[in-house]
Amino acid sequence: MDLKNVGSLSFFYPELILSGTILLLIVIDLLMRNKRALAIIALAGSAAALIATFDLYWAEPGWLFHRMMILDKFSLFFKVFALAATILCIWMSLGSNEIKQVHEGEYYTLLLTCTLGIFFMASSSNLLMAYLSLELVSLTSYVLTGFLPHNRRSSEAALKYLIYGGVASGTMIYGMSWIFGMTGSLDYSAIQAALAQNGISKATLFMAFVFIMAGFGYKIVFVPFHMWSPDVYQGAPTPFTAFLSVASNAAGMAIMIRFFFPGVSRMVAGGDWTFVSGVEWPHVLLFLSMITMTVGNLCALNQRNLKRMLAYSGIAHAGYMLMGLAVLNNDGLSAILFYVVVYLIMNLGAFLVVGMIANVTGDEDIETYRGLAWRGAIVPAVCLAVFLFSLTGLPPFAGFIGKFFLFSAVLKQGGAFAALAVIAAINSVISLYYYAKVVKTMFLDFPNPEDKTISVALDGFTLLIPLTVLTVVFGIYFSPLVRYTSQSLSFFVK
C-alpha cells in the first residue's frame, strides 16, 4: 500500500483527532472560565485518539503521504504508548499545585502538540520527516519546561534545554545532509538500497551516522548527550517531567530503531538483522550502552533532590535499553518494547508520588521524605518503595522481567555481549544503593521534631494504586504484555 495525500487521511484519524482537540482547547480556553474543563477535553480527545489507534491494528500496512510516513504495528505501538503517557500526565496534572499556577489551556495544548510530534516520530520513513517531527516535540518541550511563572529554576532549565537541543538538532541535520549527498535520497528504503551497493566510503558514512546519533542521543538521553537532563527534570513541572522521562525517551528510541531497522539494515534468517553499510554499529552501541548506564548510576549516587536522582536513573535506563538495540535481532528489539512499557508504569508512578508529596511540602529533597511512612503517608511510601525496587530490577516486580528479557537477549550473543551483561548487572547493584537509600529514609529514619504530618489528597490514589498493582502484576503475569510487544515488532519493509 502506497497512498498519496488524500488517500492517507483515512488512516490518519488519531492524528486528526489530536489536531482537532488542540484547536478546540485553544477556543475553549478563550471562552470559558472553568479551567478544569480543559483537562477533561484533553482527556477525552486523547481517549478518542487511543480508540482510533487501536482500530488501525487491522489495517493493511503501508506508506502514507508520498512515502513520508509508515503505517505498521511498530508505529501503532508507540502511538498507543504516547497516548497512555499523555492520559496519565493529564491525570497527574489535575491534582498538581504547579499546574494550577499556569495558563492551563496553553499547557494542555502544548502537551497534546508534543504527543502529536511523537506520533510523527514513530511513523516517519524519511529523514526529513524524522527531523521535523523531532523538532515539533523539542520546541513544545522547551516551552513546557519553562512553564512555571516566577520560577528561576524552571526558566534556567528551559534555556539549557533549548541550547543543548539546538546544537543537537543542527548536528543531526548536518549528518542527514551527508547521507543525502552520498545516497541521493532521504527515504529510508532508498538509503538502504544505495548503501547495499558498497560504493560509499565507510569513514564518511561513519561520521554521518555519528552526527545523526547526536540528535537521537539527545532525545534518548544517552551519554554524552545527557547533560541537559538533570536540570530539566528538576526545573520542569513534575507532571511534565514524568511525561518527558518516558514518552520523549521512548519516541527517541522509536525513531532510532526505525532509522536502523530497516533504514540502514536488512533482515536475514532467524530474525537477525545485518547492516548494509559495512560499519560495525553493534560494537559502537555496546560501548554507548556500557558508558551510559555507568555514568547515569554513578552520578545518581550523591543526589539529594529526588527528581535529579530520577533523571540520572533515567540515563542509566536508557543504557539498559541500548543493550537490546546492540544485539541486532528481534529478541533485543522485543525486549526494548517490553521494557519501555514497564518503565512507563514504574517511572510515572515514582514521579506521581514525588508530585503528591511536593504538593504538601513544596520540596523534592530526599530529606523531606524522612520518616514519611510514620507521618500519615504510609500508602505513598509503600507505593514509592515498590516503584523504586522495580526500577532496580528486583523480583517480583515488572522491572525484573524487563531486565531479564534484555539480559537474555544479550547473553545469547556471547563474546563481548557477555561482558556487557556483567557490567549491566554491576550497574543494577549500584542502582540498588541509591534507590534503597530513599526507602531507608522513608521507613527507617525517624522524622525530625519539626516535621509535620503529611495529608495527601485522596484523588491521587485513583492513579497511584492502579500503577502500583500493574507494577506487581506484570512482574508475575507478563505473558499478555509479551505477546503484545512481540506482535508490535512488525516493520513494513519493501
Whole-number Cα distances in Å, 210 to 32, 216, 326, 380: 49, 10, 15, 43
What is the pLDDT at residue 269?
Answer: 60
Give residue-wise pLDDT tens across range 213-244.
888 888 888 888 888 889 899 888 889 999 99
Give residue-wise pLDDT tens across range 62-83.
777 777 888 888 889 999 999 9
pTM: 0.92
Average pLDDT score over the chain: 86
- The answer to whether residue 440 scores a pLDDT higher than 80 is yes
Domain boundaries defined on the chain:
280-494
- The answer to whether residue 111 scores a pLDDT higher than 90 is yes
User: On the CB side of 83, how many CA atoms lie within 13 Å of its CA?
Assistant: 24
- The answer to whether residue 271 scores a pLDDT higher than 70 is no
Give residue-wise pLDDT tens across range 352-367.
999 888 888 878 888 8
pLDDT band (50, 70, 90) for residue 270: low
